[in-house]
Amino acid sequence: MCLGIPMKVIKIDGDEGVVESGALRKKANFSLMKNVKQGEYILMHAGFAIGKIKGSEARKTLRALRDL
């Protein structure tokens, strides 16, 4: 099973950038997506942004993951 983690886009530099979830910051590759904007939430899997997610859904999912 694969798990995409919701993360907030902090910085964009071409097809790469930085995303965060809580205190965790990671490098991200945006080449699989178009029109990614700073401040949006994405689903991150294996270093790649694989989809966008609404902020409210991202926060709900992150709360559920913390509760596990």
Provide the domain count of the chain.
1
- Model pLDDT, residue 66: 87
Alpha carbon 12 to chain centroid, angstroms: 12
Q: Tens digits of per-residue pLDDT, 6-20?
A: 999 999 999 999 999
CA distances from 31 to 34, 51, 55, 61 (A): 7, 11, 21, 24
pLDDT lower than 50: segments of the chain: none
Q: Which helix (H) or strand (E) holds 9?
A: strand 5-13
Domain holding 34, by residue range, is 5-67
Q: CA–CA separation, 2 vs 48, rounded Å?
A: 13
pTM of the complete model: 0.88
β 41-45/48-53 pair status: antiparallel
The CATH number of whichever domain residue 57 belongs to comes to 2.30.30.140
| Contact between residue 32 and residue 49 where contact means Cβ atoms under 8 Å apart | yes
